[in-house]
Amino acid sequence: MAQAKAANTYAKSTAREYFESICVAVILALFVRTFIVQAFKIPTGSMENNLLIGDHLLVNKFVFAPTLNTAERTLLPIDPIRRGDIIVFKYPEEPERDFIKRTIGLPGETIELRNKKVYINNKPLDEPYVHFLFPPDDPAQRPEDGTPDFDVRRQYGPVTVPAGQYFMMGDNRDNSQDSRYWGFLPREYVKGKALFVYFSFAEEPGGPLSAIRWNRLFHQIH
């Protein structure tokens, strides 16, 4: 009788341990999902050729987290938003949607586009990552009658980025809904920094395995 009771107690103890382990794992997963990393899928070609439609990314939500004091900023791995950072954020015109763009203009800077070339404080910006569907020197993209060019893909600004906001642009400059159209990004809309591609799937014929872009797995994002 004593042995049966002991075995029953052991079984309950083991079941409880499994239950507690599962609960802890779920809580940790929810914590990581909420505060540290988030998965994000590229839905459009606005960041080509750096990020492709079907790329699945991991986003670091902790790196830009707000800090309360200098001690927290010193001890925690928190970074300021820098030019060139690829960021996932709430779309200002529809905050329930997530966008991904590259940080171009920082608070206080003056941004201008001249024939598709970005100028920061009147100095040209080197952008090796930029992709154009139509080359800047393509005469077919300019007005033929000599009227001013109001195409924001070619000419924009100058504008000054307000405090606490950023000017965001897609790498695919001729096919990107970015700050040229909807304005500046408030700091509080930033969700995190794109880290790397953990999976990539192209919608191509030939079966699911042939559509996997094996060369993009664990591709670091720059």
Kindly report whether the peptide bond that precedes residue 66 is cis, defined as omega within 30 degrees of 0.
Answer: no
> Encoding tokens for residue 153?
């893909």
**Which amino acid is it at 55?**
D
Q: Select from 129, 131, 149, 130 the least CA-distant residue to 139.
A: 149
C-alpha torsion angle, residues 12, 14, 20, 25 (rounded to 10): -150
> Encoding tokens for residue 185?
């990004």
46 catalytic per annotation: yes
Gap between the terminal Cα atoms of the chain: 67
Q: Select from 203, 140, 99 the least CA-distant residue to 213.
A: 203
For the beta sheet containing 117-120, the strands, ordered from the edge strand earlier in sequence to the opposite edge, are 123-124, 117-120, 110-114, 156-160
Burial class (CB in 10 A: 0-12, 13-18, 19+), 177: middle
Active-site choice (5, 13, 46, 179): 46
Active-site choice (101, 176, 179, 200): 101
Residues assigned a catalytic role: 46, 101
